Structure formats: C-alpha cells, structure tokens
Amino acid sequence: MQMKKYQIVKMLAAGVLLSCTAMSPVLAENYPASSVRFIIPFPPGGTLDTVGRLLAQELSDQMGQSFVVENRSGGNGTIGAHAVARAQADGHTLLFNASTFISAPMTMSSVPYKADEDFMPIAMVAKAPLSVSINKDLPIKDVKSLLEYARMKPGEMTFAVGSTGSAGHLATELLRRSGNLDYMIVPYKGTAPALQDLVGGRIHGFIDPILGSYSYYKSGMLKVVAVTSSQRAANLPEVPTVAETIPGYEFYSWYGVWAPKGTPEGVAQQLNAEINKALDKLKPKLNEQGLLVDAGNIEDFRRFQRNETELMRKIIQEGNINAN
C-alpha cells in the first residue's frame, strides 16, 4: 500500500514538473502580450537615450508590440531602476541602462535595490569608448602634452564629470592614477552643462562617451586628444588611444538590458534572441557613432557584468569616490 502511494506521489510530481517545463515555451510564444515599458533612468537627449530609442524601435518592428521608452530620471539613475525592480516579472517592463547602473550605487550610502540580486541580465548591447576632450585654447594636442601640462600645474587643472560614479568619472580617476597626475575632478549634473563649460573655458577637460563630444569636436569647438578604447574608434580614426601613451589603459561605458528578477526563462531567452537580431541591423549605425556592438547570450552578459563590477569597485575604493 505504501509503495502504491509512493508511486502515485512520484507520478504526480513528474506531472507537475512536465507542466512547469511546458509552460516556459508557452510564455515565450505568447510574449509580448501587450506593449513593453522600456525604462531609461536618465533624461532624454544623451547617448544612452539615443541608443535606447533606436533599440526600442527595432524591437517594436520585430515583435509586433510597442516598446515604449519611458525616461524616469533622478537619483543618479536609481529611481528608474527601482521602478523596474518592483515591476511584475513578466517581461513587460525592462530596464535599458549604462554601466552607471552598477557603479553609481557603490558610491551611495543608500540605494533601494541590489543590481546583482534584484535584476535578471537579458542582453549586452554595446560598449562606448570615451573621448578625452580638452578646451580648444589649451596648449594640449595629445596625451603626452596633457600629462606635461597637468604636471606643470599640479592641482590646477580641472576635469568635469557628468555624474558621480559614472563611467566618465571612473575613467577620469583611472587616468589620474595611471598618469600619476594631480588634477581636480568637478562634478556636474549631467553631460550637457559639463560640455558647455568645457567649450566656454570654465573647465579644462572632460571624459565621456564619444557621441556627446563628437559634434563639438567636428565643429572645432573643443579638442579630442584621445579615446579610452584599446583600439582607435571607427568614427575618430585620426585620434589616438590613451594606451598609445599609457600602456594598458582601457575603459568603456557600456549599455545593456535587464528585467526584474523572476522573469520566466523562456521570455528572457526570447528577448535575448530578439535583441541580438536587432543589433545585427543596428550595428552599422551604432558603429558610425563610435559604439562597439557586443552581443551575446545571457550567460556572456552575466559573466561580463561580474568582471566589470570588480574593476569598477577597485577604482571606486582606491579613488575614495563618494556621492554622499
């Protein structure tokens, strides 16, 4: 009798397991059932917003449902990210964010989420090399003369950062330590006012994604003396890398898509496949803007995020970067 009961329980358990297994492709097959909120936790107009809108439009075209961009700015990106963390985990609310998503919370005393616990990585989108931009009136034409100028005036040279803990901030701190320099880092509330002050001569330098400084550089309003990638940028082939003067220097901002923790695996895998398909189409356009498309599967993105987290934590701790 006990054996029969055991067999019945075993059969029921197997049936439940089969039902759960069968649900995943059904969820993916019916996804998306309605429009998808594509939350970008910064204001419109920046590099992140530009790339996010391109991707959202491509996904809308591919998947037959609207991917609606919603800019939820504030709190150095934490307000929009928190909205996604609290959303229903069904794939209909996604976060499109930059690496600031990982680094900024390390500089803040209180953040309402944990990046590695409250979110499911969906897809890596692109790496963004940063440009080392200098006011056009300074006698600096390359990294070598930048180092010489900064060392001649210790503590006097100023570099803007768009936000504390951003990729540009970490790249600026890394340059200061790699070049053994003494310059002042000045925090701004966003890229736009920092660029305005750089062009106006109120600040000496600014390191941020290429897309932000590109038009100013092309119009002669500022100098771009280097890029932070390991190789020269496709849209700035005449500009050397920092590594050509300081071997080993390399840093990027990078963009990805996350969903709330608990999102069904079938939905996550479908999203990853659709994003990779979209990036195949968008690659030429993104390359023209100096971005390096870096698609892959979910585990690739998860591994990349772990490695980048350790690098950023090291720079933040050694530079004593604090937003409070």
For residues 63-68, average pLDDT: 97
Burial 132-148 (b: 16+ CB within 10 A, else e): bbbbeebebebbeebbe
Pair of tokens at residue 2: 């006990």
Q: Which amino acid is at 278?
A: A
Q: Do domains 27-127+254-319 and 129-244 have the same CATH topology?
A: yes
Residue in this structure with the two tokens 């890229």, named with its chain if needed: 191
Residue 195 has pLDDT above 60, yes or no: yes
Sorting pLDDT into bands at 50, 70 and 90, what band is 183? very high
CA-CA distance, 94 to 103, in Å (whole number)?
A: 19
DSSP strand pairing (93-98 vs 252-260): antiparallel
User: Tens digit of pLDDT for each residue in 241-272?
Assistant: 999 999 999 999 999 999 999 999 999 999 99
**CA 308-314-320 angle, 5° bins:** 130
Query: Mean of the pLDDT values across residues 190-199?
Result: 92
pLDDT score at 28: 60
pLDDT tens digits for 76-116?
889 999 999 999 999 999 999 999 889 888 988 888 899 98
Q: What is the Cα–Cα distance from 72 to 161, expressed in whole angstroms?
A: 21
Burial class (CB in 10 A: 0-12, 13-18, 19+), 16: exposed
Classify domain 129-244 by CATH number.
Answer: 3.40.190.10
pTM of the model: 0.82
**Relative orientation angle of helices 191-199 and 210-218, to the nearest 10 degrees:** 30
Q: Residue 9's pLDDT is what?
A: 41
Between residues 47 and 132, which one has the greater pLDDT? 132
Residue 69 CA to residue 29 CA, distance in Å, equals 23
| Whether the predicted pLDDT of 16 surpasses 90 | no
Share of the chain above pLDDT 70, in %: 91
pLDDT at site 162:
87
Q: Which two tokens stand for residue 231?
A: 């190789």
Where in the chain are the domains? Answer: 27-127+254-319, 129-244
pLDDT score at 179: 95
Classify domain 27-127+254-319 at the CATH topology level. D-Maltodextrin-Binding Protein; domain 2 (3.40.190)
Amino acid at 111: V
Helix (H) / strand (E) containing 81:
helix 78-86
- What sign for the dihedral angle of Cα 53, 55, 58, 63? negative
Are 117 and 265 in contact by the 8 Å Cβ rule? The answer is no
CA distances from 39 to 24, 49, 85, 269 (A): 25, 10, 11, 19
Cα 5 to its chain centre, rounded Å, is: 55
Q: Which residue has the tokens 């720079």?
A: 315
